[in-house]
Structure 1
């Protein structure tokens, strides 16, 4: 592996903040401040060619923990609920990738698969609403990075969800087209 990629087997924790994250829940538009983080284990990328001259070397990132929480505030800025995004299943496929696109100065593309995560909306007047990504929905956090794992800026996330913990789909389809997270070194 090129020296710019983390060693195979490393477990890399990363704290994050995602301030002013838009979230649409049905007709309700929220702006939330998420705090939390994730942890990855670095795996070999079986699809990466074993060519030392290939500038685009990559590793798989196995998600071994993720949790972000944000408070929903009312008009008087008092907390009226929470939104939590967290890992709900074990990552057995390692779909996330970190690719070194330029060795010096280092540049990376990071694609984090969030299809294993759920979104929970809790409000005092209602039962918790737990939503999972709809199969085939785009649930990828994409980052263009200059350093890994510290001083990371992840640029966008797209996720749609249309089923709850019950057996019938819900008409509420939370959608966040961006997740402006600042990660590492926080």
Structure 2
């Protein structure tokens, strides 16, 4: 039996329409899955900001840090160091000012610098300096200060160890070093380092922060003897 041409054409169009519909449904379903995972269509979950620009509570945000020519005293040597590294902060509610502020819990902080060899082995002859977080607290804050310009006051409170690693210096001072075990000098902040600045985005987009006062570093078991001091720490903070 021969099927009329007109009916065959109608069935073909119906099949194509059903195929297009299935394709649109599949694309829509993929969009829902990706959107719920925070991969498309806006800011990923945990990184959202409210209308004031404050980060969402629970977000964990990485921040790059670059401090060039930071004047630092180590024992009797005076050097300018270039620190590079970063930190990660977790955003918490601030009960003292819930509408306009967030507390920031530093959950990772590390920067390093190369020590210059100034040719005076008695004072300074190369090596590395590593600053690394040694206390997890939530004393840092981000506070909205001007709604018209979306200005924020950022205050970072940082407690850390400073590890001064100079194995070459040890070998020079002790000959071959036979019979002696080398250990880097590990100091800790006597009081937290406080960095402050005005920013217009969080995480910052190349904002400069300043250190409020010099930071003394001491031996953990001898807090009265200052062996190093970070005199200034002009640091550029940037989103990673």
- The Cα of 1:170 is off from its aligned counterpart by 7.2
**Does residue 73 of the first structure (1) align with residue 116 of the second (2)?**
yes
Q: CA RMSD in A?
A: 2.1
- The Cα of 1:185 is off from its aligned counterpart by 4.3
> Using a 3 Å threshold, how does the CA distance of structure 1 residues 120 and 174 change in structure 2: closer, same or farther?
same
Deviation digits for residues 20-68 of structure 1 (CA, Å, limit 9, x no counterpart): 11111232111000000000000001222x5x6xxxx211000010000
Aligned residues: 171
Residue 28 (structure 1) aligns with = 77
Q: TM-score, normalised by structure 1?
A: 0.82
- The Cα of 1:168 is off from its aligned counterpart by 3.7
Deviation digits for residues 125-152 of structure 1 (CA, Å, limit 9, x no counterpart): 3431111122xx2521112222221322
Mapped partners of 2:96, 2:101: distance in 1: 9
Secondary structure class of the residue paired with 1:110? strand
Residue 163 (structure 1) aligns with = 219
Between 1 and 2, higher relative CO (CA 8 Å, sep ≥ 6) is seen in 1
> Using a 3 Å threshold, how does the CA distance of structure 1 residues 90 and 132 change in structure 2: closer, same or farther?
same
Q: TM-score, normalised by structure 2?
A: 0.65
Residue 88 (structure 1) aligns with = 134
Contact 1:22–1:31 (8 Å) recurs in 2: yes
Contact 2:105–2:136 (8 Å) recurs in 1: no
Contact 2:193–2:211 (8 Å) recurs in 1: no
Higher percent of residues as helix: 2
Mapped partners of 1:178, 1:168: distance in 2: 23
**Does residue 146 of the first structure (1) align with residue 192 of the second (2)?**
no
Secondary structure class of the residue paired with 1:4? coil
Mapped partners of 2:86, 2:147: distance in 1: 27
Identify the match of residue 119 of structure 1 among 143, 157, 162.
Answer: 162
